[in-house]
Structure formats: structure tokens, C-alpha cells
Amino acid sequence: MMEGRKAGDLMIPLDKYPHIPYWFTLRQAMAEFENSSIEINGQISLPRIILVFDEKYQLMGMARRRDILRGLEPEFLSGKSYKHPKKLFDVGVDPNLSEMSYDKLLKAIRERAESKVSDIMVPIKETVDYDDHIMKVIYEMVSNDLSMLPVMQEGSVAGVVRSVDIFHEVAQLII
């Protein structure tokens, strides 16, 4: 059975998957996370990633929960601009060492929440094709350490395939 399964069979169509335009704020992205759910075969799950599009409805990137949290982290905690890519030798600031005022922190986070999702989104590194075999999907996920891949069909994004669904499919065969 597994030999018959393709990326297209396993994907969540784009219209069922949460996505937002790039100029939306982190706050709006969070609302999207908090208010969306994905229903597959009667199973409801929460999205772990949302897609980011431009005004021409072209896929620009994606945002995970931790990307958003990174974006919310006030500069006085990270010591670095949130736009600064994490480097190997960056020295983190121990939050316990900071003088923390709850109000100050909250204010800073709220300010951060108004920044654009395009500031924190991560680029799409790989895609799979609608007709790609499941093995190709597994290969791309593992070798690129990805839990989600956009599925392309005739040059357009048709949906996404998640590691959780691939895992489920493989598990059906094994256990």
C-alpha cells in the first residue's frame, strides 16, 4: 500500500492550512495559532507552523511557534536584535541575572508583538512535488531536519505535508 502513496495523497490542502500575509504582526500570527485547528480524518490537531504569503499569494516562508517566541524576546534579554541570526559563539544572557520588572517586560513583549511576521519567518528550503513518492518526502524531511514540506503542483503550492502525517502513515504499516 505504501508504494501507492504520494505526497499529494498525504498533504493537507492549502485552503485547510493556516496562512497569513507577510505584513501581519506576531500578535496576529499568535492569534492564528491559538484559533486554528487542522482536522484530518476526524482527528483535530493544532498547527505547529503557519505559512507566510505575499500579496500575490506567493509563498514566502513559514513561522513556527519558537520563531514567534524568538521575535517576542525583548532585546534586553537576548542582548541581540531579534533579527540577528544566532551565531555559534553568541553568549546568552541568563534571564535570572536580569533585573526583571514584570510590567516592563510585558510592555516590551507587547511592543514586539506588533512587529511583522516577515521579520521572523524562516525561508522555505525544500519542497516536494504533488506526485513525489512518500519515500522522497521522508528523505527530504530527514536530510533537512524538517517537520513540514510544501507540496507543489504545476508550479504552485497546493498544500503541505507534515512529518506527523508521514509518521502516522508509516506506523500503520509497522505496528
Q: Does 155 bind other proteins (CB under 8 A)?
A: yes
| 83 or 99: CB nearest other proteins | 83
User: Does 156 participate in binding other proteins (rule CB under 8 A)?
Assistant: yes
Binding window for other proteins (CB under 8 A); candidates: 67-75, 88-96, 139-147, 155-163? 155-163
Among 7, 11, 12, 20, binds other proteins (CB under 8 A): 20
Distance CA 172, CA 101 (A): 51
Distances (CA, A) of 94 to 76, 79, 89, 97, 163: 11, 10, 15, 5, 33
Q: How far is the CB of 95 from other proteins (least distance, A)?
A: 26
**172, three cell numbers:** 500503520
Q: Would you give the DSSP letter of residue 48?
A: S
Pick from 132, 142, 151: nearest CA to 51: 151
Q: Pick from 23, 76, 139, 167: which binds other proteins (CB under 8 A)? A: 23
Provide the minimum distance between the beta carbon of 159 and other proteins in the complex, in angstroms, as a whole number.
Answer: 9
Q: Of 47, 54, 48, which is closest to residue 117 (Cα–Cα)?
A: 54
Residues 133-152, interacting with other proteins (CB under 8 A):
150, 152
Decide if residue 8 touches other proteins (CB under 8 A): no
Torsions phi, psi for 2 (to 5 deg):
-60, -30
What is the enclosing helix (H) or strand (E) of 173? helix 163-174
Footprint of other proteins on this chain (CB under 8 A)? 14-24, 28, 31-32, 34-37, 53-61, 83, 85, 116, 118-119, 123-124, 127, 150, 152-158
